[in-house]
Amino acid sequence: MSFSIGKIALAGGVALGALALAFGTQWSAQAQQKKDLPRTVVWTAYDVGSGGYSSAASIGHVMAQKEGITMRVIPGGNDIARQSPLAARRAHFGALGIASFLSQEGVMEFGAPEWGPQPMRILNMAWADFNTGVASCAADSGVKMVSDMKGKRIAWVVGAPALNLNMTGWLAGGGLTWDDVQKIEFPSWGASTRAVREGQADCWIASTNSGGVYELANSPRGYQPAHMPKPQEDPEAWKRLRRVTPYYEYNEATIGAKPVSKQTPHVGATYGYPIVSAYADQDEELVYQQTRMIVELNKDYKDAFPGNDGYAMERQRLQWVIPYHPGAVRYYKERGVWKEEEDKHNARLIERQKVLAEAWEKALAERDEKEVAVKDFATLWMKHRAEALKKGNFEPYWVEKFW
């Protein structure tokens, strides 16, 4: 793959020089002993107060207590800021959202020439009773259903394709597009959170268990996540949602800020979050140990943040849209939950990444040969991408540039 980490602008003010990590350390086959692990592991996450940051911090606290290993969490205001340290190998793992999938696919910001499809791998995902990436609105805005967002002030976070695509999906579910709302740009997720609370916007993307959502619920504006109609009530709405965001699964959330509860669930969709991710070349032994700690220490941190029980072994869905890292696979095989079906599914996903990588190289070559302008490159890339995936009998999800 031609991906060049040197070309990436490390967004979000991440002070990478302060990390001073010893990435050259090699872990032996006997690295199950704490003394053989690095003393510090580095994760990335969304801003302080986000569900991903709070969740990662709670894991890190228990790792320090039980394993003597320090976790340093780098907060990033958008998806590029979260993934850049991983791409530059300045962080080991990311508490990522659906941008991990979008980066694998090479779409939106990841369709830029300095990025391209990324070789992502999963360790674990928090599949809990909250809804991830919800169109979250102030209660006084009058939004109750996704269709009610028409004419409202909706947050668009620069450099955050996951947030923006999620919101595009929710709008589509309501039969709307960005032309039907007031699109307001913000530099970070945290800024969009504050804007809704302070009355400068009406809706932004946040999980029902996000810290920002609880703050909004306790503010004068109040909190109201936008509901989808149930699939049986409006199947066309769900077709529109999933055409834009194919990774969502129907879910009725019972974890979240008021009014979300077991008595009044949020009718919407979700995916596991955070998606604990690494690059394919991350050390297998380190990934194995980190996966082990996430799963086996869950009893010690599951009550520290709403939804942390989603990291438990019995909650994992081992056949998803991104392949698992060999270190994680080894751990799940040892626990007896990774079978032949998971192996076949994982191999197919890895093959998809290879097809994407080859298509990317062809797109770059044609760009150079024909001197394609930067503004036209994404259209060229999406053409190569769709053709290659269809030829390999893979679902392209998106055929043309949609951003």
In tens, the pLDDT along 171-205 reads 999 999 999 999 999 999 999 999 999 999 999 99
- Cα–Cα separations (whole angstroms), residue 366 to 359, 360, 377: 11, 10, 10
Average pLDDT over residues 329-358: 98
Q: Whole-angstrom Cα distance, residue 292 to residue 205?
A: 31
Q: Please give the CATH number for the structural domain made up of 5-128+273-348.
A: 3.40.190.10
Cβ atoms within 10 Å of 346's Cβ, excluding its own? 23
**The residue count for the chain:** 403
Mean residue pLDDT of the chain comes to 91
In tens, the pLDDT along 385-402 reads 999 999 999 999 999 998
Q: Residue 105 is encoded by which pair of tokens?
A: 């696919």
CATH superfamily, domain 134-270, is Periplasmic binding protein-like II (3.40.190.10)
Instruction: Check residue 262 and report its DSSP letter.
Output: S
Percent of the chain with pLDDT over 90: 88
pLDDT at 139 over 70: yes
Cis peptide before 246 (omega within 30 of 0): no
pLDDT at 158 over 50: yes
Which residue intervals of the chain bear CATH 3.40.190.10?
5-128+273-348, 134-270
Spatial CB neighbours of 16, under 8 Å, sequence gap ≥ 6: 10, 85, 88, 90
In tens, the pLDDT along 90-130 reads 999 999 999 999 999 999 999 999 999 999 999 999 999 99
